[in-house]
Amino acid sequence: MKVLIVGGGGREHAIAVKCSESKLVDKLYAAPGNAGIAKLAECVDISVMDADKLVAFAKEKDIDLTIIGPDDPLVAGVADAFTAAGLRVFGPAKNAAIIEGSKAFSKDLMKKYNIPSAAYEVFDNADDALSYLETAKMPIVLKADGLALGKGVLICNNLEEAKAGVKTLMLDKQFGAAGDKIVIEEFMTGREVSVLCFCDGTHIKPMTSAQDHKRAKDGDKGLNTGGMGTFSPSPFYTEDIDKFCKEKIYQPTMDAMKAEGRDFTGILFCGLMLTEDGPKVLEYNARFGDPEAQVVLPRMKNDIIEVMEACIDGKLDEIDLQFEDNAAVCVILASDGYPEHYDKGFVISGLDTFDDKDGYYVFHAGTKLTDKGIVTNGGRVLGVTAKGEDLFKARANAYEATKWIDFENKYMRNDIGKAIDEQ
């Protein structure tokens, strides 16, 4: 088979590694890919948002399956363009990707179908939002309705902060049209877990659990980022919790989308908060998490193409999804200053050290191949993942492997997976 991966981050590199291990794949392409993916796939310089060019390329190369990695093209309907052209594509259609594209949609869906989540109200004008806040309980959470690079969520400790938040989102439009509408949500406390699920429109199969670290600095301080590291599995996601989520969250979400005429095929990412009152949905995403994919996929035993094909064909029930009985930890190596200002273009050394090391991976996120070699080209530069027989070993291995890599403004969190000390 010829397979095209759309995207060029660490998540797509993790998908590319799994595809390269598939016995079904003869040739791998990526658009636009990155310097790491280029070792496994032929990269072509087409934007993830350029549906026409992507479809034309897939036709020209006789691509058998296209996998769409990021949220933006899914929410914009790039999968629909492939389907309309008679091409096979893994990723939800636009009318289903709205589960990530609109927080108001997902909150209304959960309310209508009794899926556990925080209480909320939706506002499309700032005056109403501000007067609602006057009597609301603090802390409170404000969310831009649309996509905002994972940064459109504001946790506000008091009325003053909440009012400033409404201004940021709805009046100053810091996230553009994503803030035309906002969700104001009850603040919940508990441990967070990410569960990524394969879906075929009818059936849903959760993968092993993971936990992300969204803040830039140790101790969960600093600004929100795209994710500074992950571990898998989460020791807090017990069998009982899994059973509850399958019965009350995963399958009901699948059924709800079907009932709405929005059959969901692809990856449904359930961001959960394990509260005192049980697990509740924090958010849905319509794709693999990044960097969750970098710890979950290396532990998956199945041939990823077989599973994806089963999703497209509505036969996911025939797949026995299996994960290794071990653990993985991913530490993101970032450019110092991320997620604000940072310099790039620094030569990266040590990448080859990973070539002959089983159970160790270096996933490229913001890198570029130049005549000086591979250089840094983004805020999140690399994801260093290591497996181990348990979370403690995996964490030690991952931090050891971060030492193999060097570049001038290398920055990482030193407490990825610290939560496992408290289990």
CB of 27 to ligand GLY, least distance (A): 28
**With CB cut-offs between 5 and 8 Å by kind, which of ligand AMP, ligand GLY, none does residue 187 bind?**
ligand AMP
Q: Which stretch binds ligand GLY (CB under 6 A): 86-94, 283-291, 304-312, 317-325?
A: 283-291
Name the residue type at position 189: T
> Segment 277-316, which members bind ligand AMP (CB under 6 A)?
282-283
The entry of ligand GLY, ligand AMP, none that residue 292 binds, CB within 5 to 8 Å by partner kind: ligand GLY
- Contacting ligand GLY within 213-252 (CB under 6 A): 227
22 and 304 Cβ atoms separated by less than 8 Å: yes
Nearer to ligand GLY, 36 or 226 (CB): 226
Phi, psi of 20 (to 5 degrees): -70, -20
User: How far apart (Å, rounded) are the C-alpha atoms in residues 142 and 182?
Assistant: 7
Q: Three-state DSSP class for 360?
A: strand
Residue 100 near ligand GLY by CB under 6 A: no
Q: How far is the CB of 326 from ligand AMP (least distance, A)?
A: 26
Identified binder of ligand GLY from the candidate list 12, 145, 290, 309, rule CB under 6 A: 290
The yes or no reply on residue 185 touching ligand GLY (CB under 6 A) is no
Q: Does 12 bind ligand GLY (CB under 6 A)?
A: no
Using CB under 6 A, which of the segments 150-158, 201-209, 227-235, 261-269 binds ligand AMP?
A: 150-158
Q: Does 153 bind ligand AMP (CB under 6 A)?
A: yes
Q: Where are the beta strands (DSSP E) in 96-178?
A: 120-123, 140-144, 153-156
User: Among candidates 206, 197, 319, which has minimal Cα distance to 265?
Assistant: 197
Asked if residue 72 binds ligand AMP (CB under 6 A), the reply is no
Check if the beta carbon of residue 283 is closer than 8 Å to that of residue 107. Answer: no
Among 99, 162, 188, 382, binds ligand AMP (CB under 6 A): 188
Pattern 116-155, ligand GLY, x by CB under 6 A: ----------------------------------x-----
Count of H helices and E strands in the chain? 13, 23
Q: How far is 112 from 255, CA to CA, in rounded Å?
A: 12
What's the CA gap between 303 and 310, in Å, rounded?
A: 11
Please identify the residue of the shown chain whose CB is closest to the bound ligand AMP: 283
Q: Which residues bind to ligand AMP, rule: CB under 6 A? A: 118, 141, 143, 150, 153, 155, 185-188, 192, 214, 271, 282-283
Q: Which residues bind to ligand GLY, rule: CB under 6 A? A: 150, 212, 227, 285, 289-290, 292
